[in-house]
A and B are shown apart, each in its own frame.
Chain A
């Protein structure tokens, strides 16, 4: 479903390497964790996937589509196939939880009826029915992240990309977020997550890709955190 073909990313006119000949595949319905120290290239990898950044060499494919050949005007449509979750949540501060989720649907051109039906469902999935009309700064870190996840899944994307989703959360909120991601994966959505959290990886018991200095150093189908 996703295929990275010898992807390299150089910054500073080639003086610093963020990614070096990275090659790997992700199959549909997989739950892949990418681990590594800060600066190992995890976030750069995800940026390639959502076409926020371009590789210096190599290609990234989504199904049979070369992501970096997509014309600018078609990018929004491509991004709607991917749900994204970030460490810093990236919610719209001037919109309520409901509106944040609804915005992703409206941007997608969904009808008002669909919005009215699907947003409460997504909120229920992340167990936040009672916080629908709160603004982000009235929510805890874990609740914000759950709103972000609800926003990511509401358009029924093919993949969820989560960049350090538990990085800012306490252990209980971390556990809840991982359980929700697992639930989403069980419902049939591919999940790619980067993390630092050993506990999360060991608990998941799914595929783990380990990165170091821009290269893939391990790829275990039922991996543990080994850095």
Chain B
């Protein structure tokens, strides 16, 4: 048992070394394949983060009439917060709204003069509601409409709900988000599949060059497992080396685009690469090893048939 294992190790290493050119070709192709897998992981993460960012920007605003009493508004706020689909409710008082408004139009004299002439604060308080998922806004909107309908017409509270106005935009965004997700998933699946097939083919070619040797091995009475062992080990070696190379290749790229992604997506890709390094390392090396083993097994099996 131990002798067999030792011989497999030796056979694998010696075969790897003496077929250096073929080994290098296999490793090179596999590195490219794993690099594609790694880049896919990065792009996927980036896409996920940016989608989250966009989704975070979607909300419903409820504007209250200027005469609405604060306790009434707080009552509605706590009712909203009790809904399971609501993630966050932010209250903006009349004073805060005025301040934000004046800040925004500071430069515009006409507006500022108009505001001054009014003397009174024309703005109502508002609640900004954020849902867990974009598809849940419809339900929240319906809830708010019920509240509005139940009000005493003499003492209105809710002035306006901007959902209908935003509905079209939100719907479009939701469909864009799901389309991008589907498309990127399909594109990645095709890329990964292509890399796997190319790798598989390369290893098959590498073993093809040794098919005569395999037939000789059989003739001198080597069992199938004895023949397979060294090839399996070579597959594992290709996988490990290619996985490490792919990570080394990914490192400078992620390092250089890190600041840009920080600026554009508010997410530093390099930070992710560092913090999730163990996961990325084992995914790539593991994928390489699995790819190497499966390709070797399938390729050798062809020549072991009688």
Let me know if B213 and A93 touch, CB within 8 A: yes
In the bound complex, CA of A199 to CA of B220 (Å): 29
Chain B's interface: helix, strand, loop or mixed, by majority? helix
Enumerate chain B residues within 8 angstroms of A108, measured Cβ to Cβ: 221
Enumerate chain B residues within 8 angstroms of A93, measured Cβ to Cβ: 213
Let me know if A79 and B219 touch, CB within 8 A: yes
Which chain A residues numbered 8 to 66 have a C-beta less than 8 Å away from chain B?
50-52
Let me know if A76 and B218 touch, CB within 8 A: yes
Q: Which residue from A50, A77, A92, A104 sits with its C-beta under 8 Å from B213?
A: A92
1/0 per residue B183-216: CB within 8 Å of A?
Answer: 0000000000000000000000000000011011
Residue tally, chain B, CB below 8 Å to A: 21
A79 with B216: in contact, given A94-B15, A111-B3, A112-B3 (CB under 8 Å)? Answer: no
A47 vs chain B, min Cβ distance (A): 11
Enumerate chain B residues within 8 angstroms of A109, measured Cβ to Cβ: 3-4
Interface status of A84 (Cβ within 8 A of chain B): yes
Let me know if B306 and A72 touch, CB within 8 A: yes
1/0 per residue A111-145: CB within 8 Å of B?
Answer: 11000000000000000000000000000000000
In the bound complex, CA of A72 to CA of B305 (Å): 10
In the bound complex, CA of A46 to CA of B15 (Å): 31
Let me know if A76 and B221 touch, CB within 8 A: yes
In the bound complex, CA of A90 to CA of B215 (Å): 9
Q: Which residue from A75, A92, A111 sits with its C-beta under 8 Å from B217?
A: A92
Let me know if B221 and A107 touch, CB within 8 A: yes
Residue of A nearest to B6 (CB): A112
A100 vs chain B, min Cβ distance (A): 9
Enumerate chain A residues within 8 angstroms of B216, measured Cβ to Cβ: 90-92
Interface status of A151 (Cβ within 8 A of chain B): yes
Enumerate chain A residues within 8 angstroms of B215, measured Cβ to Cβ: 90
B10 vs chain A, min Cβ distance (A): 9
Q: Which residue from A52, A76, A111, A112 sits with its C-beta under 8 Å from B222?
A: A76
- Chain A positions near chain B (C-beta within 8 angstroms): 50-52, 72, 75-80, 84, 90-94, 103-104, 106-109, 111-112, 151, 155
Given contacts A104-B221, A107-B222, 6 further A-B contacts (CB under 8 A): A76-B222, A76-B226, A90-B215, A103-B222, A106-B226, A108-B221
The 6 closest A-B CB pairs, nearest first, are A107-B222, A80-B221, A79-B221, A104-B220, A76-B223, A94-B18
- Chain B positions near chain A (C-beta within 8 angstroms): 3-4, 7, 14-15, 18-19, 212-213, 215-224, 226, 306
